[in-house]
Amino acid sequence: MVEEATEEQIRAHLDVNFFGAVWVAQAVLPLLRAQGGGRLLQVTSMGTGACMATVGFYGAGKSALNSVTDALAMEAAGFGVKVTNVQMGGYDTGLFTAGTTATEPLPEYESLRTEMAAMWGDEAGPAPETAAPVIMQLAGLPDPPRRLIVGNQSFDQVMEVGRAREELYRARERLSRIAPG
């Protein structure tokens, strides 16, 4: 929960899900430029397009990585470096069990915690290695996309969130357009 997390826990999420990937990209880019191009795949999350309660800081780190990776794709294109956000769906990585940051739970959020636990259920997602054929095919594409959602159910969820977001914006379009800019 956003309210429950400490500064240390938030920074740890960002260190793992954002800064670490940025440092790796910065380390490999000189090599890719020197060889005249290459591929860089940044693993982000479908959760950046379909954010969920209880995993806000995970989503924040992955969203930041999406934005930086999009910018990097534009910056590195002139050097023959092709960059893709690989937006993974729900795979059995332990994120919502062992990978969850333990916080001091506030009783006010207990009903939401119970609701989210029921939604995730005891059923594990597919094994991460089941996504490998998609990643391998993506890596070999001559003209790869800047973003790719990996996972059938995840694709549907992201598309539905996109439709709902457009409806939300359209409902207040007149208000939005009052200001210049």
pLDDT digits (tens, 9 = 90+) for 69-86: 999 999 999 999 999 999
3-state DSSP assignment of residue 71: helix
Task: Look at residue 114 in the predicted model and tell me its pLDDT.
Answer: 85
> At 147, is the pLDDT very low, low, confident or very high (cuts 50, 70, 90)?
very high
Q: Residues with Cβ < 8 Å from 36, sequence gap 6 or more?
A: 79, 80
CATH topology of domain 7-176: Rossmann fold (3.40.50)
Q: Does residue 49 surpass a pLDDT of 90?
A: no
Task: Look at residue 104 in the predicted model and tell me its pLDDT.
Answer: 82
Task: Look at residue 98 in the predicted model and tell me its pLDDT.
Answer: 53
Please name the amino acid found at residue 42: Q
Q: Does residue 177 surpass a pLDDT of 90?
A: yes
Q: Does residue 97 surpass a pLDDT of 60?
A: no
3-state DSSP assignment of residue 42: strand
The H or E element spanning position 81 is strand 81-88
What is the mean predicted confidence (pLDDT) over 150-172? 92
Task: Look at residue 124 in the predicted model and tell me its pLDDT.
Answer: 67
Separation CA 176–CA 42 (nearest Å)? 33
Task: Look at residue 5 in the predicted model and tell me its pLDDT.
Answer: 92
Kindly provide the b/e burial profile for residues 41-55, where b requires at least 16 CB atoms within 10 angstroms of the residue's own CB.
bbbbbbbbbbeeebb
The sign of the torsion formed by the CA atoms of 28, 31, 33, 37 equals negative
